[in-house]
Amino acid sequence: MLTQIQQKILDGRLRVGDRLPSERELGEALGVSRNSVREALRVLESMGILSAQVGSGRDAGSTVAGRSTAALSNLLRLHMALSQFSLEDLVDVRIELERLAVVRAAAGADVGDLERLRALTRAMAEPGMDYERFHELDSEFHIALTRASDNALATDLMQALRDAVKGEMIAAFRRVRDWEVMVSTLTEEHLAILRAVEAGDGKEAAELVTQHIKGFYAAVGDAPE
């Protein structure tokens, strides 16, 4: 059943917002028990493919959802665990994705995007920033940069990538020798990238984001365990 629903989505026969038949109807159509249907629906919901509403009213049942990021994050996390992707692979992908994002953002970010980025840099500069809070702001800054590029796929990929490495990023922050200096450095680098985007200088923004990413991984790679 999982394969059949996924194939219908791939074929375009099911789209976001479409409602699935009831569990009983699905079971009869596919020749499987309601328990099997229920379990398959639960898996698809956990993957972000379906959204379920309990009850018996008009809105009850399962509909095709557009929450692709959660599924992509989980898939990427599993691939990273099983395939042992190297740090170099991760850095290369981040650099290329973010270079594309800042070049496009510099060419057409709207006022709302820029204000969101400014607000994030102001929040990063607040005193007493702990590891998890800074990671949250740092992740949202990079995701917001990608969102400002007006490329939905790039935004989903960035969100998935950041979600997949969250634990490793926080662990890397904890290994930093001088946390306050690191926070200050990263915040200033974010500001420099933002200024280049605001100035419409995509080339400069791309160079700055490259230096920012390479510099961070070099710094945490040298930090003591």
Look at residue 21 and give its three-state secondary structure.
Answer: coil
Instruction: For residue 180, give every residue at least 6 positions away whose Cβ sits within 8 Å of its Cβ, in sequence order, or none.
Output: none
Residue 40 has pLDDT above 60, yes or no: yes
Interatomic CA distance for residues 216 and 10, integer angstroms: 39
Whether the CB-CB separation of 103 and 208 falls below 8 Å is answered with no
Q: Is 48 left (phi over 0), alpha (psi -120 to 50) or beta?
A: left
**Mean pLDDT of all residues in 86-106:** 88
Map tokens 């499987």 to a residue.
32
Residue of higher predicted confidence among 87 and 33: 33
Among candidate residues 148, 161, 142, the one with its CA nearest the CA of residue 212: 142
Average pLDDT over residues 211-222: 85
pLDDT for 224: 43
Task: Count CB neighbours of 209 within 10 A.
Answer: 26
Residue 117 contacts by C-beta under 8 Å, 6 or more apart in sequence?
A: 141, 144, 145, 148, 194, 197
Given this model, what pLDDT does residue 223 score? 47
Confidence category of residue 4, pLDDT binned at 50, 70, 90:
confident
Q: What share of the chain is helix, strand, coil (3-state, %, to 5)?
A: 70, 5, 25
- Whether 181 has a pLDDT exceeding 50, the answer reads yes
Structural contact between residues 78 and 36, judged by C-beta atoms closer than 8 angstroms: no
Regarding predicted confidence, which is higher, 92 or 83?
A: 92
| pLDDT at residue 200 is higher than 60 | yes
68 pLDDT exceeds 60?
A: no
